[in-house]
Structure 1
Amino acid sequence: MNDSITQVEITNGDIVVDAVLLGELLNIQPAEVPALMKAGAITSICEKGVGEDAGEYRLSFFYRNRRLQLSVNESGHILRRSVIDFGERPLPRSLHTVRA
């Protein structure tokens, strides 16, 4: 990952994630990301950290058989990222639930 390119921007509470990053991690073409989000095929959850996680956000994206999670700080720097891919099996409904 190239740190000189901002992949997550946070401005006045609005969070924008680069379609290139989402495409790469969700295994789709970046140009497809906006339409898939608009159609509800890619869904997401944003959680704001509290306590020892204050100042961080966890961004979860779901698409077909994949779940992507990005942990970012208030300036948009990616601290951690993970992808779960279930191959030919659909993403279990339980993974659409965010746990503490």
Structure 2
Amino acid sequence: MAQIELANDQVRIDADIVAKAFRIDPRDLQNRMREGTITSRFEQGEGEDAGKVRLTFFSEDRKVRITADEGGNVLNCSAIPYLRPGTQEGPATEAADDT
């Protein structure tokens, strides 16, 4: 079963996947996305990455990147500390982790 649904320029992903990468509750994720404190970007692969998609989610201190195939199956999910532009202090250094 696909973990990401892609249709008509719309993307749907199970909140549990993203929330786990952010280390927060799925309800908190949904609230923070409504508030705009977690934002996202969608990209479609080109060239050797054709057929893949990448979803990137940003909070004030963490970035989550999910890569999936054209069927919506998650190939990779990683999360790293992130300093949102315009903020003054950053998080402690941490290695990327697969979630």
Match of 2:37 in 1: 41
Pick aligned residue for 2:57 from 54, 61, 64 = 61
Structure 1 segments unaligned to the other structure (5+ residues): 94-100
Structure 2 segments unaligned to the other structure (5+ residues): 86-99
Match of 2:48 in 1: 52
CA distance in 1, matches of 2:40, 2:59: 9
Match of 2:13 in 1: 17
Match of 2:89 in 1: none
Aligned residues: 85
Q: Please list, as runs of the form range in 1=range in 2, the aligned pairs for 1:81-100 lying within 5 A after superposition.
A: 81-85=77-81, 91-93=83-85
Match of 2:88 in 1: none
CA distance in 2, matches of 1:62, 1:70: 12
Pick aligned residue for 1:77 from 45, 68, 73 = 73
TM superposition shift of 1:92: 4.8
CA distance in 1, matches of 2:84, 2:28: 23
Aligned identity (percent) is 35
CA distance in 2, matches of 1:40, 1:92: 13
Describe the SS at the equivalent of 1:28: coil
Q: TM-score, normalised by structure 1?
A: 0.76
Paired residues of 2:53 and 2:70 also in contact (CA < 8 A): yes
TM superposition shift of 1:15: 0.8
CA distance in 2, matches of 1:36, 1:92: 15
Runs of 4+ aligned structure 1 residues displaced above 3 Å come to none
Describe the SS at the equivalent of 1:70: strand
Pick aligned residue for 1:29 from 25, 28, 31 = 25
Q: TM-score, normalised by structure 2?
A: 0.76
CA distance in 1, matches of 2:25, 2:3: 16
